[in-house]
Chain A
Amino acid sequence: DGGITQSPKYLFRKEGQNVTLSCEQNLNHDAMYWYRQDPGQGLRLIYYSQIVNDFQKGDIAEGYSVSREKKESFPLTVTSAQKNPTAFYLCASSIISGTGLYEQYFGPGTRLTVT
């Protein structure tokens, strides 16, 4: 099956701990994205990467870190510096087109609860 997977589906952590969310895709997409979604809110971009070993900050990157060592993997670390980490995290991937004509494929999401 081709697709994008995120694990785990639910994650619980104590305040002050770093936690890493997994995102893997086998669609051979160049670009990958991490979004945060809060209740009743839209998606806010945390980080994105268009090529291996390169990534850019999105709108709310503070308190988060990423790596892109392999094309198919884009893990997100939620650090203790993130003041309000409890949220639903979505990973997505897409092809890169110079004309901007692309759709994003989303994973099922990870719901992180920090207490």
Chain B
Amino acid sequence: SQQGEEDPQALSIQEGENATMNCSYKTSINNLQWYRQNSGRGLVHLILIRSNEREKHSGRLRVTLDTSKKSSSLLITASRAADTASYFCATDARRGSTLGRLYFGRGTQLTVWP
């Protein structure tokens, strides 16, 4: 079963607006990561947040993590048409025998209109 689930499944906004995507997960984690996938391509790592961190920034990206609610959010500020892609959260899950693998959600499809 998948560990992370993103919400919403699809998001459509205008250029310049902010985009917020959410991720919920089920079990305790060591870290949570966000990836981006352009259509028909491989995934690209965006940002990693550790379980003892609450917020992290990278350029126009802001990620928050609330371990008490088992949720994370990815905010893209001042979005651009080039941000159009699918965004996935991935968790490692604190399961001893499965150290080294990630659990991916189904993703949020973001469309940014010029």
A residues contacting B by CB (< 8 A) are: 6, 31, 33, 35, 40-45, 48, 50, 58, 88, 90, 92, 94, 96, 98-101, 103-109, 111
Contact = CB atoms under 8 A, between A and B. Distances in A.
B101 A109 contact: no
A108 B105 contact: no
Interface residues on B, range: 20 to 34
20 contacts: A31-B100, A42-B88, A42-B104, A42-B105, A42-B106, A43-B104, A48-B101, A88-B40, A90-B42, A92-B42, A98-B99, A100-B30, A100-B92, A100-B100, A101-B48, A101-B50, A103-B33, A105-B45, A106-B35, A109-B42
Contacts of A35: 104
Tell me what chain B mostly uses at the interface: helix, strand, loop, or mixed. loop
A33 to B, nearest CB: 7
A15 to B, nearest CB: 24
Interface of B: 2, 30-31, 33, 35, 40-45, 48, 50, 88, 90, 92, 99-102, 104-107
